């Protein structure tokens, strides 16, 4: 009976985490450059159940009954870095990456490209959100006020909003003079990046100070920077809503099962105990 409690409770926890993941995706459906979170459930190792107390049967002390599942859990939560559609905004300060061709990584999957930025502590971060602005000192910043970096590793000073970005990321001012080039990083395994908030990603699992290699000059990488466009979130609202409803129904089913077990235990403790 107690094993049933554990199985139903683990199912509820797994679906709760799935619901949180899907809710995060739905809440960021209009966030430029947002990459949806994915998750997968797995079962705990099964147990072999055996009948005990068979000492009265000659030559048999236990006999196998069968296998018993011990519950389920959400194994991991990773991001889907597939290209999102582009939406034209006509804002000079908006930019979007469009991946044409990328080399395959060690796992046979293509990596992903990112703009480089720095957080408030001066640490390098990465983003696909090109919804930018120009601060009072003329620096190009993210929507959260983080500096966007040029290929030289320094914050990009564009002077004002009248600048132009070429397809290769070269930035020129209103007089046509070259200011610099937008830094674009390549991640062979994009799942090494984790979300930090504010549209920023950080590189995890590497030595301190490690950064992603540059995509500029890599002949295997083909991309375009589109000024006046934003990359849409790659969340599919219809599919996500369907998964949310399914997750909710499964949670309710496990909840009813838990209540049934609780009622059975209550009767075992009260009614059967009274008969004894």
Q: How far apart are CA 94 and CA 193, in angstroms?
A: 23
Tokens 């409803």 correspond to 245
- pLDDT tens sequence across 15-32: 888 888 999 999 999 999
Most confident option among 129-133, 173-177, 251-255:
129-133
Mean pLDDT computed over 113-119: 95
Share of the chain above pLDDT 90, in %: 49
What band does 275 get if pLDDT is binned at 50, 70 and 90? Answer: low
What band does 166 get if pLDDT is binned at 50, 70 and 90? Answer: very high
Mean pLDDT computed over 92-96: 96
User: Which is higher by pLDDT, 52 or 128?
Assistant: 128
- pLDDT tens sequence across 44-57: 555 555 555 555 55
Q: How far apart are CA 191 and CA 39, in angstroms?
A: 13
- Token pair for residue 209? 């100070």
Mean pLDDT computed over 153-166: 94
pLDDT at 227: 97
- Token pair for residue 244? 């949310």
How many C-beta atoms lie closer than 10 Å to residue 30's C-beta? 9
User: Which is higher by pLDDT, 169 or 276?
Assistant: 169
- pLDDT tens sequence across 185-198: 999 988 889 988 88
Q: How many CA atoms lie within 13 A of 185 on its CB side?
A: 25
Contact 168, 181 (CB under 8 A): yes
- 68 pLDDT higher than 60: no
User: Which is higher by pLDDT, 263 or 181?
Assistant: 181
pLDDT at 198: 86
- pLDDT tens sequence across 223-267: 999 999 999 999 999 999 998 998 888 888 878 877 777 777 777
User: Which is higher by pLDDT, 43 or 38?
Assistant: 38
SS3 content of the chain, % helix, strand, coil (to 5): 25, 35, 40
Contact 91, 159 (CB under 8 A): no
Tokens 């309710």 correspond to 252
- Token pair for residue 76? 């991991």
> What residues does each domain of the chain span?
2-79+236-275, 86-231
- 4 pLDDT higher than 70: no
pTM greater than 0.85: no
């Amino acid at each position: 009976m107690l094993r049933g409690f554990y199985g139903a409770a683990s199912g509820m926890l797994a679906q709760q985490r799935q619901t949180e993941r899907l809710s995060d995706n739905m809440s960021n459906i209009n966030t430029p450059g947002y990459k949806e979170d994915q998750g997968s459930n797995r079962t705990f190792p099964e147990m072999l159940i055996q009948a005990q107390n068979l000492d009265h049967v000659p030559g048999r002390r236990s006999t196998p009954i069968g296998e018993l599942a011990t519950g389920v859990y959400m194994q991991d939560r990773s991001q889907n870095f597939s290209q999102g559609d582009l939406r034209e905004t006509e804002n000079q300060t908006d930019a979007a990456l469009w991946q044409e061709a990328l080399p395959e990584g060690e796992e046979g999957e293509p990596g992903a490209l990112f703009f480089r930025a720095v957080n408030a502590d001066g640490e390098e971060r990465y983003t696909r959100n090109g919804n930018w602005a120009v601060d009072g000192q003329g620096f190009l910043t993210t929507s959260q006020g983080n500096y966007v970096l040029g290929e030289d590793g320094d914050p990009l000073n564009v002077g004002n909003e009248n600048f132009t970005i070429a397809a290769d990321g070269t930035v020129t001012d209103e007089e046509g003079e070259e200011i610099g080039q937008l830094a674009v990083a390549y991640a062979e395994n994009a799942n090494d990046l984790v979300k930090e908030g504010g549209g920023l990603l950080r590189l995890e699992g590497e030595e301190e100070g490690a950064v992603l290699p540059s995509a500029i000059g890599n002949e295997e990488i083909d991309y375009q920077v589109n000024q006046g466009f934003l990359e849409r979130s790659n969340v599919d609202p219809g599919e996500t809503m369907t998964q949310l409803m399914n997750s909710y129904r499964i949670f309710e089913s496990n909840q009813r099962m838990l209540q049934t077990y609780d009622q059975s235990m209550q009767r075992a403790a009260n009614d059967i105990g009274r008969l004894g």
